Structure 1
Amino acid sequence: MEDNPAIEPHGPKARHRATSPAPKVKPSGKAAASKPVEAQAAQEWLAMLGWIALLVITQLLMIVFAKRCTGQAPLPLLLCLAQFTISAVLSSSASHALSRSRKSKAGNAAPGTPAQLLAPWTVLADILPLSAVWTGGFVMFNAAALHMSPGMVNVIRCMEPLATVCVGAGLGQQFSWQVLATLVPICGGVAMASLTTGSFSATGICFAMVSNVAFCCRSFSLQRLRRNPHNKLDDLAVFFNVSWTATVALPFLQVPLEGAQVLPSLQALGDRRWIFAMDLLASSVFFFLYQFVQLLVMTQLSPLAFSVLTPVVKALMIVVLTLYYGDEMSPLSALGVVLSVAGGYLFTLAKSNSGRAKDVQKNT
């Protein structure tokens, strides 16, 4: 048994000490310092949840309205032309609004240089390949959604890291074994999901795989653009230049490939032409909002938080689209989706760790 501590008898001095106020204890430095850290972590998680909700909502509405458009008139190039045209107008307006907001905050006493919107000729040479792969990725995505459910297209989109490794290897980049090992759960998970689900289509899978190659090339094109010493564009200005160049270039593809189908498809709609036009406008607006929210996320969140957010959004989109379109998904295919999304997260972490290790070796 433990000995009870000795209790002092209640004499006069003891009573005086008992009634006197207790001495104040100063909080320790660690406890005081941990509160701001915990509050900051909680705020970052709340911000991440908000960004996840915005990304899921804008992407979901973009895909739903795009699917409605291609369901009424199978014209994916026309859809992309509308999306990039509206995005060019809205991104220009957003850039001017942000520039005015920054000016009003700075005041008349400290006028800053206005943000550059239009890319100069020395930068346009790097904008054009970025615009080509950005546009091609969405054209292929819309074409894939013509042949199978958007939820299943997003499952195939989980294999984008494989395309990144293949394209990077073709450009002479080397990847660590940790990065290559993450391709096993990614490819295995997608194979499990596709083999156990009957709503996949060979044509849709091919289009989705081509979109993976196009989307992964965006990062390589962006790296080339950022190395350009004449580049003074912010992210919103980059998207504006991508949008207007896509708007100029797409008719050269759309007219020979879809031109003969436009009038018959619109005439077949009859009185539903206005519904098609409103769906086209809604898809284009949410296309811009999704891209704009993505740009905000990349500037507001840390790289680690962004690496967590991306696979979470991808997983939520697969679940939401599968439920919305009523796709059948067996437990084995659901496990495959989880494996591929988890592999995508591990791929991001392994790639960032490998990049940091290379930077340390260069500095030493």
Structure 2
Amino acid sequence: MNESALQWSQVLQALPFPYTMTAFQLGFGSLVIFFMWAARLHPAPKLSAAQLARIAPLAAGHMLGTVFTNMSLGKVAVSFTHTVKASEPFFTVLLSAFFLGETPSLLVLGSLVPIVGGVALASLTEVSFNWVGFWSAMASNLLNQTRNVLSKRLLGGQQEEESMDDINLFSVITVLSFLMSCPLMLLAEGVKFSPAYLQSTGLNLPELCVRAALAGLCFHGYQKISYMILARVSPVTHSVANCVKRVVVIVSSVLFFRTPISAVNALGTGAALGGVYLYSRLKKSKPKSI
């Protein structure tokens, strides 16, 4: 994930087209998935029309969540995007309560305060701050956590024919997301991968293609592992574990891109990540709560 975020940020800086980049990411993942099924590395699912109808909204959320993440990465520093996305547990607690009936304890709610407060503090002092980048990251949080919570319901289907394993659920979501992203890309940005256009940019095309392919491969691998974890833990625990990796992304991006940060900005980021640690300790002491 660290490599994916850094590589993809560089690609987005060279080609600031979030819809096109999203279609590329999902298309690359779809090729990997079809190879997996064709080579019988994992059995292909037998889908019913009812299953496709239930998965389609998840695919739409996955596609739009990726679009908004790419929008944010193209507008603000990588470190800031992932600081905002550290507020994922806040959305997941609310969505889990609404969709799954999982009521959080007061201690769990209390652990969300430093997360939300830290994100707010980091936002106020972020050098690269702009509202498009901020709200894009927040929209990505909402869409991705809604997808995770509803995916958890499908992964634990009450009837055997309704249930689907984690790898195939993610695979179907990815393929459907790619199909949905293509018309949106054409409508919003047109065709940006034509040879004539790429030549006119003056970019180093071989290097750009290598970085895009590496980012696409890392993105697909990260998302697949994420779904494998989601099948085994609660959505809130999943979102908190997801935040832990943002420590590496934030620190690496600050060092890699030499992003300037103030003491107050660092304090806000530290508070958000400290809230994540606090939740993990509460989860360990009370394993039956979310």
Q: 3-state DSSP class of the match of 2:51?
A: helix
Calculate the TM-score normalised by the size of structure 1.
Answer: 0.68
Number of residue pairs matched by the alignment: 286
User: Which residues of 2 match residues 60-75 of structure 1 at below 5 A?
Assistant: 60-75=2-17
Answer yes or no: is 1:220 the counterpart of 2:159. no
Q: Percent identity?
A: 25
Counterpart of 1:162, as a letter, is F
The equivalent of 1:238 in structure 2 is 169
Do the aligned partners of residues 192 and 128 (structure 1) sit closer, same or farther apart at CA in structure 2, a change above 3 Å counting? same
Calculate the TM-score normalised by the size of structure 2.
Answer: 0.84
Q: 3-state DSSP class of the match of 2:141?
A: helix
Q: Which runs of 5+ in 2 are unaligned?
A: none
Which of these two proteins has the greater Rg computed from alpha carbons? 1
Q: For 1:256 and 1:176, locate their aligned partners in 2 and report how far apart those are by CA, in whole Å.
A: 45
The equivalent of 1:150 in structure 2 is 78
Name the Cα RMSD after superposition: 3.3
Deviation sequence 1:4-42 (CA, Å, 0-9, x none): xxxxxxxxxxxxxxxxxxxxxxxxxxxxxxxxxxxxxxx
The equivalent of 1:250 in structure 2 is 181
Answer yes or no: is 1:319 the counterpart of 2:247. no
Answer yes or no: is 1:94 the counterpart of 2:33. no
Q: For 2:81 and 2:173, locate their aligned partners in 1 and report how far apart those are by CA, in whole Å.
A: 24
| Residue 260 (structure 1) shift | 6.6
The answer to whether the 8 Å contact 2:167/2:227 transfers is: yes
Counterpart of 1:249, as a letter, is M
Answer yes or no: is 1:191 the counterpart of 2:133. no
Do the aligned partners of residues 308 and 193 (structure 1) sit closer, same or farther apart at CA in structure 2, a change above 3 Å counting? closer
The equivalent of 2:271 in structure 1 is 339
Q: For 1:74 and 1:301, locate their aligned partners in 2 and report how far apart those are by CA, in whole Å.
A: 36
Q: 3-state DSSP class of the match of 2:259?
A: coil
Deviation sequence 1:313-341 (CA, Å, 0-9, x none): 22121111111111122333223222211
Counterpart of 2:68, as a letter, is M
Q: For 1:315 and 1:211, locate their aligned partners in 2 and report how far apart those are by CA, in whole Å.
A: 18
Do the aligned partners of residues 140 and 193 (structure 1) sit closer, same or farther apart at CA in structure 2, a change above 3 Å counting? same
Q: For 1:330 and 1:235, locate their aligned partners in 2 and report how far apart those are by CA, in whole Å.
A: 41
Deviation sequence 1:181-240 (CA, Å, 0-9, x none): 122101111122222331222210010010010111122211331354223432111121
| Residue 124 (structure 1) shift | 1.2
Deviation sequence 1:246-283 (CA, Å, 0-9, x none): 11111121111111766685353246344433332222
The equivalent of 1:40 in structure 2 is none
Counterpart of 1:242, as a letter, is I
User: Which residues of 2 match residues 62-211 of structure 1 at below 5 A?
Assistant: 62-94=4-36, 99=41, 115-168=43-96, 171=99, 173=101, 174-211=103-140
Do the aligned partners of residues 305 and 253 (structure 1) sit closer, same or farther apart at CA in structure 2, a change above 3 Å counting? closer
